[in-house]
Structure 1
Amino acid sequence: MKICLFWHRRDLRIYDNAGLAAALASGLPVVPLFIYDQDILDYLPDKADARLTYIFDEVERLAKATKAAGGTFLARYGKPLEVLRALVQEFEVAAVHTNEDYEPYATQRDTAVGQILQAHGVDFLLYKDQVIFAKDDIMTKSGTVPKVFGAYYKSYVAKLTDEDLHPYDSADRFISKNLHLITPEKAGPRPTLASMGFERKEQYVPTSDLPAEDVVRNYHKTRNTPALQNGTTRISVQLRFGTLSVRQVMHQAKALNPKLLAEIIWRDFFMMLLWHYPNTATEAYDPKMRQVPYRNNEDEFLAWCEGRTGYPLVDAGMRELNQTGYLPNRVRMTVAGFLVKHLFIDWRWGEKYFADKLLDYELANNVGNWQWMAGTGAVSAPWFRVYSPESQLAQVDPEMKYVKRWVPEVGTPAYPTPIVEHKFARERAVEAIRAARITA
């Protein structure tokens, strides 16, 4: 029997799933598939990874839901090209459906997958799902890539319609007549964390539900107050792994809070930029910023990583990140700015550390924001802007409730003195960058 595969990636849900809906409407029986990508997992720094634990649990949830609906869910561990080559030889696969991914590795992988499937006579069909607008959907009037968020935002909102946010009917179509049932012997066992060489690591992740309406309505008032437990939506992990639909999230934000809507649009903006400029994953977009003589002091970097800089808001943020895998956005800005300007350490060091620690790590957002803070990106804060961590503390945590939660020794002899003086650090960074830009 001819079947089609639906390859889950950054869309670990059944409802409102563009690619899954198309596969289920294709007329061919569908087998959902997840590949634990060895090309990615081999680079994880720790064998106990909370993100992989989260993915594993969500894949198992999908497998149970597929079984309950009368189908079979396949899960494999290995390199995607090898796994798919084996599957199209083992089963009569007519097509593979999946949703687009815009990161450099993903686009290279999908090009290679498409070639392999084509050689076997298998269609490879991709759909837009994790964003509303992507690639060339929004361009300037002159046909160039938009690099100013304000103009991009205006074009985005003007283009956005209710149809763009209408949910796909994948959940309604997810029934036995559209799914394919495979015998256990043929399906084989699904990988376990242990069989892949990993261990469980539990870290708190909110449920994959829309945030409460009162949180959304007050978002613009509370988003920069890290001491509040519900000051932000806390849905970044769910958007990253697709356990929550971006269309559903944006529909709520569009109705209730324009500031939250803008923040979600930033996500599309950074993905669009990374797709157009994949080299920015590893180097500054601005050529004049590629020769900045960063100090890269390893002892100071370690102090930053461990939250021992003597600046309370910076230290609180890094300790929260290390313990929970989460970091409020305003605090992310503060710790990032401190690393690249006060300690004058290459933004890529910070980007890599966040990549290792953040539960919601997403390459486009992370690179985009780090280059924004460093003044090196396609869209960026001015390179000569240096935020004062003391002023940031006074603005976002004046009573130090957040700081004292994570740095209980603050204000005692046990707390270190500042690792560097603000005025001195600012002048050092600005003068070094200015000189590098002149000679670039």
Structure 2
Amino acid sequence: MLVPRLVWFRRDLRDIDNAALAAALASGAPVFCAFVFDTAILDALPSRTDRRVAFIHGALLELDAALRARGGGLIVRHGDARHEIPRLAAELGVGTVHAGRDYEPFARARDAAVATALAADGRSLQPVCEHVLFDGDAVLTQAGRPYTVFTPYKNAWLRRLHEAGVPWHASGEGALAKPLVACGVPSLADIGFAAVDLAGSGVRPGMSGAAERLADFRERMPRYREQRDFPAVKGVSYLSPHLRFGTVSIRQLVREALQVGGEGGMTWLSELAWRDFYFMILDRFPHVAGASFRPEYDAIVWDEWPQGLAAWQAGQTGFPLVDAAMRQLAATGYMHNRLRMVVASFLGKDLGIDWRLGERWFADQLLDFDLAANNGGWQWAASSGCDAQPWFRIFNPVTQSEKFDPQGKFIRRYVPELAAVPEKWIHAPWRMPPLEQAAVGAVIGRDYPLPLVEHDVARQRTLVRYAVVKKAGGG
């Protein structure tokens, strides 16, 4: 009789086109399926009310139902995965544990510990490429090194894509073993968390939620290039939480982009390549998790300004587009990609606050938080990352507002105290004449804050702040 296999679900909460599940089923051996609510991660969360934990929980309920329909079921443990997986493998008598490869420093250390524990017991951990289209040595320079500039990486990524095609892992077929131990998904309360109304944020977890989002975006993808930068327009995919937790596969999304084609499909495909790029950077240059990709940028001296940071976090900076974006994040756990760039630039280059504090805030707040993409985005805005925005290029929050929310629709949705402000003044309401402020019920300094900084003055301070980089030859 073949020795059973165990599939350890992590960031791949689906039973279709799942590389780890497909590898286990291909062995022909009995296959068990498990997930661990890892206390090493959960205990570090800032709140017991967490959208991400609720999303995972909803996805697990659906995954468990899908596995049960195939004769199996999901074994869910609550504890430290470094101990729970080896213990479960021993209980089930499995020889191999299959899992999607993870690239985050914490995950790599955890997986190394699990692999060591399994090996000591005569078992093995078999990681596979699952969360990205290409990893490892699949996309390298001609010199055999990892790329550090996106455009040549994307060109090589596309060449690899056209040469190798998009794989399909037939994990939707094959028999699963009936669990030999207790299975099923515990309640959120059982693991110490409170329920969260994800529906109120317009989010439906699980494979069905991903399929619904994808079907909706498929119709809009041809217009993606023209509409993606405007937060008041339904122009983006809204698939990021599903991609983050693997309720849809990256391979399926690449296939969809290729099938739609045109400028819309190819622009979205480029965004998926950016995601692979940031994963590769984190994998090959793990120091970025706590420091600048370009070391000379760690010489920058940031301002200690707790009040400025708190105002930014609360959406009370006095700059309407920045505040609307931060309030959207607080209300929904989501922020439009263009706005992520705007608020990141504002924190570092207008307020002079260390980008790592913003990165940490996003890590706590974003439903789709992913270390690789979050770190890549923040370092891009701070100019400290690979292929980042030049340090002397500084977003003007008012002109960004005028360009990407021209009628102020997005601002009025999330900053209701400015709802009656005329379009002429909505982007910089402090410029509105006092009598008009009183007439529309938006007195600046009373009903809505004065700007924390003057952008032109802040810009000059930033150019001085970054001079240390220029002296070091970094720009």
Provide TM-score, normalisation by structure 1.
0.95
Shift of 1:169: 0.7
Distance 1:14 1:331 in 2: 34
CA deviations on 1:363-419 (whole Å, 9 max, x unpaired) are: 000000100100111221111111101110111011001101111212411121211
Counterpart selection for 1:338 from 341, 346, 349 = 346
Distance 1:27 1:285 in 2: 44
Distance 1:188 1:169 in 2: 24
Distance 1:78 1:26 in 2: 29
Distance 2:162 2:109 in 1: 31
Shift of 1:85: 2.5
Unaligned runs of 5+ in 2: 422-441
Q: Structure 1 36/197 Cα, relative in aligned 2: closer, same or farther at 3 Å?
A: same
Alignment of 1:404-415 (within 5 A): 404-410=412-418, 411=421, 412-413=442-443, 414-415=447-448
Counterpart selection for 2:223 from 218, 223, 226 = 218
Distance 1:64 1:214 in 2: 29
Could you say which residue in structure 2 is the equivalent of 1:30? 31
Contact map agreement 1:340 1:374 (CA 8 A) in 2 = yes
Shift of 1:161: 2.8
Asked whether 1:261 is paired with 2:269, we answer: yes
Instruction: Give the total of aligned pairs.
Output: 433
Could you say which residue in structure 2 is the equivalent of 1:194? 189
Distance 2:313 2:259 in 1: 39
Which moves more between the two structures, 248-257 or 271-280? Answer: 248-257
Asked whether 1:101 is paired with 2:102, we answer: yes
Counterpart selection for 1:359 from 367, 385, 403 = 367
Counterpart selection for 1:241 from 245, 262, 272 = 245
Distance 1:107 1:164 in 2: 28
2:327 partner letter: R
Asked whether 1:309 is paired with 2:317, we answer: yes
CA deviations on 1:311-346 (whole Å, 9 max, x unpaired) are: 111000000000001111001110110001000100
Distance 2:89 2:367 in 1: 33
Asked whether 1:181 is paired with 2:178, we answer: yes
Contact map agreement 1:6 1:33 (CA 8 A) in 2 = yes
Could you say which residue in structure 1 is the equivalent of 2:118? 117
Distance 1:238 1:162 in 2: 27
Q: Structure 1 6/308 Cα, relative in aligned 2: closer, same or farther at 3 Å?
A: same
Alignment of 1:286-297 (within 5 A): 286-297=294-305
Shift of 1:78: 0.7
Shift of 1:197: 1.1
Could you say which residue in structure 1 is the equivalent of 2:439? none
Contact map agreement 1:288 1:437 (CA 8 A) in 2 = no
Contact map agreement 1:250 1:264 (CA 8 A) in 2 = yes
The alignment partner of 2:300 has SS state of coil
Alignment of 1:198-209 (within 5 A): 198-203=193-198, 204-206=202-204, 207-209=209-211
Distance 2:134 2:275 in 1: 10
Which moves more between the two structures, 364-373 or 99-108? Answer: 99-108
Could you say which residue in structure 1 is the equivalent of 2:458? 425
Provide TM-score, normalisation by structure 2.
0.88
Contact map agreement 1:293 1:436 (CA 8 A) in 2 = no
Q: Structure 1 246/404 Cα, relative in aligned 2: closer, same or farther at 3 Å?
A: same
Shift of 1:218: 0.6
Distance 2:467 2:356 in 1: 20
Asked whether 1:126 is paired with 2:117, we answer: no
Alignment of 1:376-387 (within 5 A): 376-387=384-395
Percent of paired sites with the same residue: 39
Alignment of 1:11-26 (within 5 A): 11-26=12-27
Could you say which residue in structure 2 is the equivalent of 1:251? 255
Contact map agreement 1:33 1:74 (CA 8 A) in 2 = yes
Distance 1:57 1:163 in 2: 34
The alignment partner of 2:139 has SS state of coil
1:196 partner letter: I
1:145 partner letter: P
Shift of 1:439: 6.6
Distance 2:313 2:139 in 1: 38
Could you say which residue in structure 1 is the equivalent of 2:144? 143
Contact map agreement 1:167 1:247 (CA 8 A) in 2 = yes
Which moves more between the two structures, 93-102 or 158-167? Answer: 158-167
Shift of 1:7: 0.4
Contact map agreement 1:294 1:345 (CA 8 A) in 2 = yes
Q: Structure 1 162/191 Cα, relative in aligned 2: closer, same or farther at 3 Å?
A: farther
Q: Structure 1 158/439 Cα, relative in aligned 2: closer, same or farther at 3 Å?
A: closer
CA deviations on 1:4-54 (whole Å, 9 max, x unpaired) are: 110001000000011101101112100110011111111111101111011
Shift of 1:214: 2.5
2:281 partner letter: L
CA deviations on 1:114-137 (whole Å, 9 max, x unpaired) are: 111111111211111111111322
Contact map agreement 2:292 2:384 (CA 8 A) in 1 = yes
**Dislocated runs of 4+, deviation >4 Å:** none
Shift of 1:420: 0.3
Could you say which residue in structure 2 is the equivalent of 1:321? 329
Shift of 1:192: 2.5
